[in-house]
A and B are shown apart, each in its own frame.
Chain A
Amino acid sequence: MFPSVLNTTNASIAVTVAPKILWIGFGVVFVFASVMSIILLYHWSNYGYKPIKTGIIGALYFTGVVILLGVVFFSIVSYLGSF
């Protein structure tokens, strides 16, 4: 009487992610990264025993953060431009 196997593979729903949600998400990540960066920078500048070494590490850290935030930003822009 009832089908034993439901054919669900063809029943997919098309979803459009609203730009607002994407930008709010990016904002949350940006604020989180900024707060963590300020905390780390404070520690390196106030408690770092050798400023040169913490300077190099700081540069490395910020390079990584900027690159990754940039990738997120341009991925969102590219996604929104792909409709």
Chain B
Amino acid sequence: MTQLMTYRGFALATAPASIKALVTAFVVMAALGVTVGFVNYQVRTGLTAEGSAAWYRSGVAANPEAADTDPATQEGAMPLYAKTPLEILDSTHPHLFNQAFLFFVLGHLLALCSMKARWKTATYLAGYAGVAIDVASPWLIRYAGAGFAWLQMAGHLAMAGAFLVLIVVPLWSMWRPGRRAAATAAVAALLFGAGCAAGGAGADRTGAGAPLVRVDRAWPVMGTMLQATAVAADSATAREALAAARAEVFRVDSLMSTYKPGSEVSRVNAAAGTGEWTELSPGTLEVLDAALAWNAATGRAFDPTVGPLVDAWGFHRREGRVPPESTIDSLLAITGCRRVEVERARAPYLGRGRARLPVKGMALDFGAIAKGYALDRALAAMRAAGAAGGMADLGGHVSVWGTPPDGGVGWPIGIRDPRDPEALLGTVTVESGSVATSGDYERFFVHDGVRYSHVLDPRTGWPARGTAQTTVIAPNGTDADALSTALFVLGPEKGREILARHAPEATAVWVADPGERPVEPGDVVVAGARTGRVDLSW
């Protein structure tokens, strides 16, 4: 072809029928490919600048169809997370070859058509400019500003215009009027291709009907084990989902662990009393906000500043002891969320802020909420990675979403008997949500015949009494985690009020401390019952 085009007088219009047929087939296939590409882009971004910005920078899926969203309620909207450099590169790399090559070949066909040289050159330049913008704009949108979404749309417009010329002109040259039937056939083929592309785009992308693959893995993290299950149409997707979930949990741990000196929470604590601010990333700030909100909602039954008291009781080092009253009183004086100072960035969409603790010895401890947040992020990562369902279990706090491995409805999760680790009190069946349990058996010591558990009442500085276990089923892990601790402290009577007022979608199961005897039905109180189905064993 390269050689043919150099012969004087050679043109597509006068080419042999075999060459015309070959070129027509190629151009039609190219048109089909380009159409599919644009439909793909439309599904992802809704063909809007806002949708495009959300796709790369984070937000909510622009096209409801892309996330199986209920348009009325937005329920099921797919959260989009800021793309990583590798994710962007995974599309940049093939685009540099494929799109450029397509323009290159179509450009050769245009060269064989009757058209002014300057218009041909302009078409080549427009096409290449479109490709250049197409590969550069995701980086610009992600790292320079959402406004570059408009540049991306302009680039796509340039590409579309160039493609139109590159496809229509050769077809027109070969099958111009006078050969009406052939022209009609070519146009019909184009329309058929576009129709197939649109039909393909509307097809079920979830792989429904195909057997689902389940992949399980476990890793040590946050002082416990993360056990995760991903359900997907293929094992590669499931494994990718698991890797993404693991990365999120490890990231949350690196930000919020009090055992890692470099974590943001540790740095806030180390700077307590110095007046220095510590910059917080969006995730840490989000958890701090949630912790402060639950502190206020529960009347301090949940308190992320209770760490020094937990330390005084020896629970951090698993060496329980009853501290002197004077120690408890002095530590109570430096706890309380009202003392936590938080400043947010002026541009709230940045999600950043900073925090400081004004008194030396104060400390933040997200031990009763960070695991739930980590599970939320883990499931979101699985979902973004394309899994159809998933489960993540961090030391008994379980979050689930989507299709379970057996393809049924809901994930069964056991509620253990606080006095018999081998027995279950019952099961909770959850379609999407989180099940968190706080129990007096996790960390405790017995002193003078009294059982002291690690769940402290922040208002008194003493371990909460009267409850052996609280299980909370909530729509998300962050709330379930915080509530399971708060409701353990409050007990069922006040806990019901908190549930009704602040967590109407949550369910709570209290098990009263039975003392030395086994748990009996009368020890169990269930309230809420809006998330999941609770089936007790008796």
Do A and B bind?
no
Q: Which residues of B are interface residues toward A (Cβ below 8 A)?
A: none
